[in-house]
Structure 1
Amino acid sequence: MIAICRLILMTVTLWLLAATAARADNCVATMTDVDFGVVSPIAGSDVTASGTLTVTCYWTVGTNPLLLPAANVCVNLGVGPGGGTGAPRYLLNGSNRMAFNLYTDSSYTAAKIWGSTASTIGARPINGTLVGLLGLGGVTQSFTVYGKIPAASLVGVATVGNADTLYGASFAGHGTVQYGFGSVPCTGGASAAFSFQARATAVNNCLISTSNLAFASGSPITDQRISAPLSVACTANSTYQIALNGGVSNNPGARTMKNSVTGETLGYRISSTPDGAAWGDGTASTTVYSGTGTGSAQNVMMYGIVPRQRAPTPGDYRDTVTVLLMF
């Protein structure tokens, strides 16, 4: 009978030890991904996104003497995989980088960059005090994290070929939550790691604006020359082509301007270099202009000439040419 009592006592003691170990005081953090979605490197505007940081702290029920225990937490974020100081951080695609940063509020100021207690750039961790009810065993608090890609940092961001290109950064190993209970500060307690990703997709995009080729008044018995630019902005590293249709003549190799009163025409030519091959759509022995984007506006010159020819009736001669940008 004595042996049986000893066996029962040993069993209860082991159960109590296991229960105590499983309910240790601790905090954990999780973070949703920060997804900027599709971004155009030539849009000229900031791109913003947000994520949610969630911190949960647990208390040992039955051993904590406080009815309303508190945990002091500091959530730290390192520089990330792009290197540098963290101001800025980088999204990566191979050796290509896209600058961005994460902030503790929507002011997006340098003083609000999400950093760590060990930061050297003035950035700060996300701090908080979580107060819970002991009987519940834990408490959860969420924080919004704000991300921004500045417009200036998008200039020069390249795509791979002409395809939409994913840029990303994994913060696995770069995020930690430090915590201390009661009067213990966050830096004086334990820590736990968490991870998330930030990403954006750079799209192949182009913008174009045109100007008129306006020849001066004069006689067509002598050559008349003029030039004017097309302004083209395309995503860096992407290729593009510019074609010009045939206008009123429907023939880019034999362009004409027309007098709307008399119906008479006046021949002229457009090229992408002075006295170069006729610029058109690739038909009628014409060429198509080809270029590569830089992320900034590029001037592509149009050179116009009205060659010497039989003089038609004096008047106003015009043509309308459609510009086609292919990318």
Structure 2
Amino acid sequence: MPLKIRATARIALFLVTLSTFAGESAAQSCTASMTDFNFGTTSVRGGSTPRILGTLRVECGALLGLISLVNLCITVDAGDGGSGPSNNPRYMRRADGTQLAYQLYRGGYGGTVLNNISGVSLSLLSSTVYEETIYAEVIDSGTSVNGGYYSSNFTAGIDFRVTAGTLLSCTSRGEQDSSDFMVSADIEPSCTVSAGTLDFGTLGTNVSAAVVAQTTIDVSCSAGVPYSVQLGQGQGPGVSDPTARQMSSGSNTLSYGLYRNQTLTAPWGWTVGVNDNSGTGTGAIQSIPVYGQINSGQTVPVGVYSDSVIITVNY
């Protein structure tokens, strides 16, 4: 009989221990998600910086109330677009492999690069959710950036991982559920333009012979982008001929023309396909010469004569 009593006690102790172990192993689970970062159709012309916000969210639960505190470690790697050292910068890529630099930050744009987050503790008696705002921005800018659709995919368990634990560990409970997310942008081709001053110098009031001067227009367009450059009529009244624009000094005017070639046989005007100047972007600055001529046979009063011409780049 004493033997039966001892055997019964041992069986009861074994069952209690087994039940407690099974309860702890299933007592905690977390799921992690990150919103997609879709910059949409955007431009990086002139140094503009596309930016967007997202949310990192981890939600944990406790079964049977056996665990009240969970510690989290969160890792975000490069994504399939790749990255530089320490994921700085990260890259989105076009289908042909062309890369576009961007970054994910904590604490604000230009803040801490999002790589690893540790030391996150949730007291499941009061809160089961951890959320943080993530800041994304495109780093590359200017016309050197080729237009097109870029993306980088983050695969759950590979590029986006979350582990959980209890006490001082964030790994004792192992890897938790996470979901895929994507970073994407559709970059518009872009062009920029600048120009110098066309200076004819100091002339006599009797312009008996034509006076010629030259300057340049600097155009920078995304590689492979066709463009055309038009020069407006200027501010002179009633101008309808690119070779007879008007500089003015008060109410006095001085006739001049703008041309695409040094021999002054190709007027440069404002009509697409007729008297514009066309080219194809390279991503770098392309300097295009502008030739000007003050027409001969004019007598004008003393003064400072000037005009302002609008440059338009269509692409």
Q: TM-score, normalised by structure 2?
A: 0.74
Q: Which residue of 2 aligns with 1:190?
A: 174
Give the aligned CA root-mean-square deviation in angstroms: 3.4
Q: Which residue of 2 aligns with 1:91?
A: 92
Distance between the aligned counterparts of 1:36 and 1:53, measured in 2? Answer: 17
2:138 to 144, 149, 155: 149
1:167 to 138, 145, 150: 150
Deviation at 1:72, TM superposition (A): 1.2
Cα pair distance change 1:213/1:270, threshold 3 Å: same
Distance between the aligned counterparts of 1:46 and 1:320, measured in 2? Answer: 31
Structure 1 contact 270–305 (Cα < 8 Å) conserved: yes
1:252 to 235, 238, 241: 241
Specify the code of the residue in structure 1 equivalent to 2:94. Answer: N
Cα pair distance change 1:272/1:187, threshold 3 Å: farther
Deviation at 1:218, TM superposition (A): 2.7
Distance between the aligned counterparts of 1:291 and 1:282, measured in 2? Answer: 15
2:62 to 59, 84, 92: 59
Q: TM-score, normalised by structure 1?
A: 0.72
Deviation at 1:176, TM superposition (A): 0.9
Cα pair distance change 1:306/1:29, threshold 3 Å: same
Cα pair distance change 1:252/1:187, threshold 3 Å: farther
Unpaired stretches in structure 2, ≥5 consecutive residues: 1-18
Specify the code of the residue in structure 2 equivalent to 1:132. Answer: L
Cα pair distance change 1:237/1:198, threshold 3 Å: same
Matched, 1:81 2:80: yes
Deviations 1:119-156 (A, max 9, x none): xxxxx3354111112xx9x8111112222223xx2232
Tell me the secondary structure at the aligned position of residue 43 of structure 1: helix
2:166 to 175, 178, 181: 181
Distance between the aligned counterparts of 2:151 and 2:248, measured in 1? Answer: 58
Specify the code of the residue in structure 1 equivalent to 2:32. Answer: A
Specify the code of the residue in structure 1 equivalent to 2:161. Answer: T
Structure 1 contact 41–295 (Cα < 8 Å) conserved: no
Deviation at 1:93, TM superposition (A): 2.0
Deviation at 1:230, TM superposition (A): 2.9
Cα pair distance change 1:84/1:320, threshold 3 Å: closer
Distance between the aligned counterparts of 1:36 and 1:83, measured in 2? Answer: 18
Deviation at 1:253, TM superposition (A): 5.0
Deviation at 1:278, TM superposition (A): 1.7
Q: Which residue of 1 aligns with 2:211?
A: 224
Cα pair distance change 1:126/1:204, threshold 3 Å: farther
Structure 1 contact 114–126 (Cα < 8 Å) conserved: no
Structure 1 contact 246–255 (Cα < 8 Å) conserved: no
Distance between the aligned counterparts of 2:267 and 2:299, measured in 1? Answer: 23
Deviations 1:3-61 (A, max 9, x none): xxxxxxxxxxxxx9xx9799552221011112334432223243332211111122221
Distance between the aligned counterparts of 1:254 and 1:270, measured in 2? Answer: 6
Cα pair distance change 1:143/1:320, threshold 3 Å: closer
Specify the code of the residue in structure 1 equivalent to 2:259. Answer: S
Count of aligned pairs between the two proteins: 282
Tell me the secondary structure at the aligned position of residue 125 of structure 1: strand
Specify the code of the residue in structure 2 equivalent to 1:25. Answer: Q
Unpaired stretches in structure 1, ≥5 consecutive residues: 1-15, 116-123, 160-164
Cα pair distance change 1:265/1:73, threshold 3 Å: closer
Distance between the aligned counterparts of 1:58 and 1:31, measured in 2? Answer: 18
Distance between the aligned counterparts of 2:192 and 2:72, measured in 1? Answer: 48
1:239 to 226, 240, 250: 226
Structure 2 contact 61–128 (Cα < 8 Å) conserved: yes
